[in-house]
Amino acid sequence: MPAPDHSAYFAFRDQLLGPLRTTVLTSEQLCEAGRLIYGEPRGLSLYGIAAPDMTAKGITLLGRTVIECSVDAYTAPVADALARLHTTTAPEGPHADDPFIADLFCGSGNFGHHLGKRLSRSVHACELDPAVHSATRKNLDLVGSAIELHLLDYRDLLGKLPARSTHDTYVVEPPWGPAFTAAGLDLTRTAPPVPEILDDIRRSRDGLPCHIAIKTNDRIAHDSLARSFTGARHLAAITPEPSLPYGANMDFHLYELTG
């Protein structure tokens, strides 16, 4: 049997990251993205709203956000896995029973949205692109999300969030850019590099451990995931059913980051 032809996906991805990068997509384009990326239009779903319903409900997505976002079907299982992990350990820290979630490169904000709802925790998020921030602020308001969204660099958000609990959780999804290579995803080349982000988180924690949720793809270059998390403890891997060729699908990982 011949291999599926994904050329239309790759051509559409190039459009979304190129000329349509900061363009608000039409309903037809959103449905096409769902079909090409996830196999059917409703596969593109954020905040519990699927692509065919987004425009009618006022949801605004830019081209880059559609490619970079983590959809409902991916983030909900990560939230469930984190909730299970938090039932197995007693939190510690100056405000042990009041942990926060920090979505450091939030894009659509959907990852933090699901974690906050599932764990009943406060969510602080930041996005540095003004166009993405504006669209996400509108979307979060429409769905009644309580996320505290900032137009900030992630390091400025870290400076506003002193460690509260060992159950504090940071979502790490930096732009991939040059990290998306022919050899796979090189997490030492994201913008900024993942090891640098983790060092910044450690410095903000004053020695108190925390949890990290990170999105990767299914082809990691140069063992860069393990190398980035040297000294951390891998807690769980969540691997959605692949819909695209090897190297273009999403994986998610949970880690405990020590001081």
- Residue 2 resides in a domain: no
Say yes or no: 185 and 246 in one domain: yes
Question: Rounded to an integer, what distance in angstroms lies between the CA atom of residue 241 and that of residue 114?
Answer: 19
Tally of domains within the chain: 2
Say yes or no: 166 and 238 in one domain: yes
Residue 248: is its pLDDT beyond 90? no
SS3 259: coil
In tens, the pLDDT along 183-215 reads 899 999 999 999 999 999 999 999 999 999 999
Name the residue among 29, 109, 118 with its Cα closest to residue 79: 118
Check if the beta carbon of residue 248 is closer than 8 Å to that of residue 209. no
In tens, the pLDDT along 131-164 reads 999 999 999 999 999 999 999 999 999 999 999 9
Say yes or no: 119 and 168 in one domain: yes
**Stated pTM of the model:** 0.95
194: CATH: 3.40.50.150
- Residue 1 resides in a domain: no
pLDDT, residue 180, reads: 84
Parent domain of 171: 72-257
Question: Rounded to an integer, what distance in angstroms lies between the CA atom of residue 239 and that of residue 93?
Answer: 31
pLDDT, residue 223, reads: 96
- Residue 211 resides in a domain: yes
Handedness of CA 48, 167, 121, 135 (dihedral sign): negative
Which helix H or strand E contains 45, and what residues bound it?
strand 45-46
In tens, the pLDDT along 173-183 reads 999 988 988 88
